[in-house]
Structure 1
Amino acid sequence: MLDSRIRPLIDPPLNAIGKGLARAGVTANQVTLAGAVIGIASGVAIGYRYYLLGLALVLLSRLLDGLDGAVARATKQSDFGGYLDIVSDFAFYVAVPLGFGFAVVANLPFAIILIASFTLTGISFLAYAVMAAKRGRETSAHGKKSFFYNTGLAEGTETIIAFVLMCLLPNNFAIIAVIYSAMCVITVIQRTIAAKVDFP
């Protein structure tokens, strides 16, 4: 929901940093993998109840997730880079709730629900992208991407906000997870309706 609004604000500084990294010989895939490793590490830190460390790693991971595209735009975008980016994103999306599930046993059912909702959201996102690609559809609302990005209530920005709140308010993980899981389900319904309209 917020990604397309935030993109014009964050793209200029990210692109400037991305050009600098590209000049230094850093590749987009290296940045993507670094972001994935740090994102998974955030889940490990959270699992050991180092919530503020987990928060710092979450934010660093997402910074790198934004920078990989900037480096790619400064050099050369590739289909494999797009593949690596989306796989890394979902590794991160699983790692954080899994960490909360390990941190407190009572969190585990809610972590599973959240991971399940991320799975459904990811499937709806990728299925829509496949159908859009078959029909040659393109959009620049989220910047130049390897996939067609269909908007919805729960997107990357909202996920980061939810994870930040979880790290700052770990005792409230369950309620935040339930609310965000509901947002993910609504997003799947939105995309399903859009697919029905766009791909009859």
Structure 2
Amino acid sequence: MLDARLRPLIDPPLNALGRVLADLGVTANAITSIGILLVIGAGALLAQGQFTLALVVIIVNRLLDGLDGPVARITGPTDFGGYLDIVADFVFYLAVPLGFGLAAPANLVPSLVLACCFGLTGISFLAFATIAGKRGMETSAHGKKTFFYNTGLAEGTETIVVFILFCLWPAHFPTIALTYAGLCIVTVIQRTAAAWAAFKP
């Protein structure tokens, strides 16, 4: 919901830093891969109750996630880069709930519910993108992307905010996680309605 609104604010500094990294010979795939390793580490830290350190790693991961796109646009985007980027996003979406689920017995069921709801939002997102690509549909709401980005109530910005709340108030993880899982379901319903409007016979 907030991603498209934030793009005009965050794109200029990310593009400038991305240009510096590209000039230094850093590749977009390297940035994405480092981000994947970092967020797996964040999940391990969360499982050990190291919430503050995990939060720092999560923020660095999101910075890298914002930088691989600008670098790719400068050096030349690739299909594999687009694939790796979306895989990295879902490693992020699953590693953090898994870490919290392992941190305390009370977190296990809420983390499973949230992970399942993230899976559903991912399926709805990728299914829409696949059919939209087949039909030649395009959107620039989220900047230039490898494939079609369909909007929804629970997107990247909202997820980052929720993950920060998890780390700041870990005792409230079950309540926050289940609430956000509900918003993910609403997002799936939104995308399904959008798919019906766009793809109906």
TM-score between both structures, scaled by the size of structure 2: 0.99
Q: Distance in 2 between matches of 1:122 and 1:146?
A: 16
Aligned pairs (5 A) from 1:35-74: 35-74=35-74
Give SS of 1:149's match: coil
Distance 2:40 2:176 in 1: 20
The amino acid across from 1:49 in the alignment is G
Mapped partners of 1:158, 1:181: distance in 2: 12
Q: Percent identity?
A: 60
Aligned residue in 1 for 2:174: 174
Q: Deviations over 1:129-176 (max 9, x none)?
A: 011001100001000001201000000000000000000000000011
**Distance (whole Å) between structure 1 residues aligned to residue 92 and residue 150 of structure 2:** 20
Structure-1 separation of matches of 2:35 and 2:147 = 19
TM-aligned CA deviation for residue 40 of structure 1: 1.1
Could you say which residue in structure 2 is the equivalent of 1:131?
131
Provide the rounded CA distance (Å) in 2 between the counterparts of 1:4 and 1:42: 27
Q: Write the mapping of 1:134-173 to structure 2, written as runs, cut at 5 A.
A: 134-173=134-173
TM-superposition CA deviations, 1:92-137 (whole Å, max 9, x none): 1100000001100110000000000000000000000011001100
Q: Give the aligned length.
A: 200
Q: Which amino acid in 2 is paired with 1:47?
A: A
The correspondence of residues 1-200 of structure 1 with structure 2, limited to 5 A, is 1-200=1-200
- For structure 1, the residue ranges without an aligned partner over 5 or more in a row are none
Q: Residues 7 and 143 of structure 1 are in contact (CA less than 8 Å); yes or no, is this contact kept in structure 2? A: yes
Cα RMSD (Å) of the superposition?
A: 0.5
Looking at structure 1, the residues matched to 42 and 6 of structure 2 have their Cα atoms a distance apart, in angstroms, of 24
When normalised by structure 1's length, the TM-score is 0.99
Contact 1:15 1:74 in 2 (8 A): no
Deviation at 1:180, TM superposition (A): 0.6
Cα deviation code 1:44-96 (max 9, x no counterpart): 11110000001001100000000000110111001100000000110111000
Runs of 4+ in 1 over 3 A off after TM superposition: none
Output the amino acid matched with 2:64: L
2:126 partner amino acid: L
